[in-house]
A and B are shown apart, each in its own frame.
Chain A
Amino acid sequence: MRIDEKVALDAFRPDEEPHIKLDQARCRACASRVCVRSCPANLYAPIEGSEEMKVECSGCLECGTCLTVCPHGAVDWSHPRGGCGVRYRCG
């Protein structure tokens, strides 16, 4: 099963306000891009044709890995607003 198919199994209530914001100046200067392979939902990707990064907040499992591993402090991460985000049925 592909990773996007696994994420699609989960229930989400999207928050219109993105709960993850990236400091693109720091992303541009980053060579390691550890967010890309660390995110268990595979939500991080470089934006084609630029050195900036994008993150697909709507499939976020709210694990906190990107916030923890980013060596440049480029990830501004808060919890989604109350009631929003992933809703585990088993957990």
Chain B
Amino acid sequence: MAESETFDVAIVGGGLAGLSCACETAKAGLVTAVFERGAECGSKNVSGGRIYLGPLRRLLPEFWRDAPFERLVARESVSLASGAATTTIELRADELAKDAFASHTVLRAKLDKWLAEQAVAAGAMVLPESRVDRPIVTDGRVSGVVVGGEEIPAHVVVAADGALSLLAKAAGLNAGPKPERLALGVKEIVTLDPGRIEDRFGLEPGRGAARMLVGDFTKGLPGGGFLYTNKDSISVGAVVRLDPLSTGPSGPESHALLDALKAVPDVARLLSGGTTVEYSAHVVPEAPFERTALDAPPGLLPAGDAAGMVANYGFTVRGMDFAVASGILAGQAIVASREAPDRATAAREAYLRGLEGSFVLRDLAAARGVMTFLHNPRLYGPYPQAACAAATELFRVGPDGRPFAFKPALAEARRGLSAWRVFRDLWRARKL
């Protein structure tokens, strides 16, 4: 095939990583194609619902000012749920929402469609309804993709095809999706009048709330729940690790965990009167990031979820900021190596340097300890139960009228927990 018919860059997947990359390469004049298997960008994409823009401040193109976000998050809370009880820590602080570079709730069908329009405006070819069948691999190098049986040669291929990344597997980068590296998220969109959302969550008009929950609704499985307020809907979802979910002959049904979350009285109250309009599910990277996820053959740059770029710090869960950043950095690397004799190798080296010089690899590495700590099954049943039991003892005045109940609260909290295990868990938490 003649050089002139070779794309400078073929991007697999029109999500945040792929489209962010396309905006960079197309703006610089490179011939850029984005292959999106959905009917339009965003139509296959699921997220919990919140993007942190803080780390992206220096990277984001100007047009992000007009991105179709849902609400700027101004209230954060974490709840421990046990039976019908919830113990909640809530933060309401000006710092959370002091400027646009804070965190926003999002709906991906809207956001990704908008970003695709920006990529097209920059000059990229965004091709929906285009499923990439496989990469073209010759002599250990990726030199294009096969789309609908047709070979599309490209100097550089970007794997931005999400957490499952069948492309990365086909290129020999990994052995395919593994339960020990993934969690399953199931989510409903529940529509509700904006005024009622603001009343229930205690929000100023236009501002949003985010709530994380852990507790017995995951039936002892490591994972949790989330609530994010959108403009006129609430995203409610449950996330559980796949390896314990799928071990052994019995266990809970994955879809029942979301129903169990919605049945927690404090959650049911927030959703009451709302209408479920969409049900979605997807796997999400849930293992500490491995640097080997970037050891792709020359010609292939993995970005975002396809490279496993998700960090769970317990109180914050991040993925979309890494996707946008890695997409931009991949694009900048491809642009910088456009004149190199071996563009594929030069782009890979420039991409790795870019990731190392940014917050991406640093922040992913920083989550390693927490993500390992979060495997502890006591966090998902015994500790929420202990917290709710202790709080009940502290706040309740029983018929015998004792005014101060710290000791019985402690005794209640420790019921069924081995002191040694609690001590060991606290010791580990101290080092995080």
Which A residues contact B (CB, under 8 angstroms)?
1, 3, 6-7, 9-10, 13, 31-34, 37-42, 61-65, 67-69, 71, 78-83, 85-91
Contact = CB atoms under 8 A, between A and B. Distances in A.
Could you say which of A6, A7, A13, A68 has the most chain B C-beta atoms within 10 Å of its C-beta? A68
Contact of A83 (B39, B112, B166, B251): B39
Contacts of B46: 63, 88, 91
B278 A88 contact: yes
B242 interface: yes
Nearest to B108: A91
A87 B246 contact: no
B263 to A, nearest CB: 12
B282 interface: yes
A88 B249 contact: no
B401 interface: no
Interface string B267-287: 000000000111111110000
Contacts of B242: 38, 65, 68-69
19 contacts: A6-B279, A7-B279, A31-B249, A32-B248, A38-B242, A61-B280, A63-B281, A63-B283, A78-B166, A82-B129, A82-B131, A83-B38, A87-B38, A88-B42, A90-B277, A91-B42, A91-B107, A91-B109, A91-B280
Nearest to B282: A63
Nearest to A66: B246
Contacts of A88: 42-46, 108-109, 278, 280
B216 interface: no
Interface of B: 37-39, 42-47, 107-110, 112, 128-131, 148, 163-164, 166, 176-179, 182, 184, 186, 188-189, 230, 233, 242, 245-249, 251-255, 276-283
A24 B112 CA distance: 38
A38 B39 contact: no
A86 B43 CA distance: 8
A79 to B, nearest CB: 5
A69 B179 CA distance: 6
A90 B43 CA distance: 8
- Most chain-A CB neighbours within 10 Å: which of B43, B129, B251? B43
Contact of B255 (A10, A40, A79, A81): A40
Contacts of B246: 34, 38, 68-69, 71
A78 B167 CA distance: 11
Contacts of B189: 90
Contacts of B188: 6
Contacts of B177: 64, 67-68
Contacts of A81: 131
A14 to B, nearest CB: 13
Q: Which 10 A-B pairs have the closest CB atoms?
A: A83-B129, A91-B108, A69-B246, A91-B109, A40-B281, A82-B129, A6-B279, A63-B281, A82-B131, A68-B177
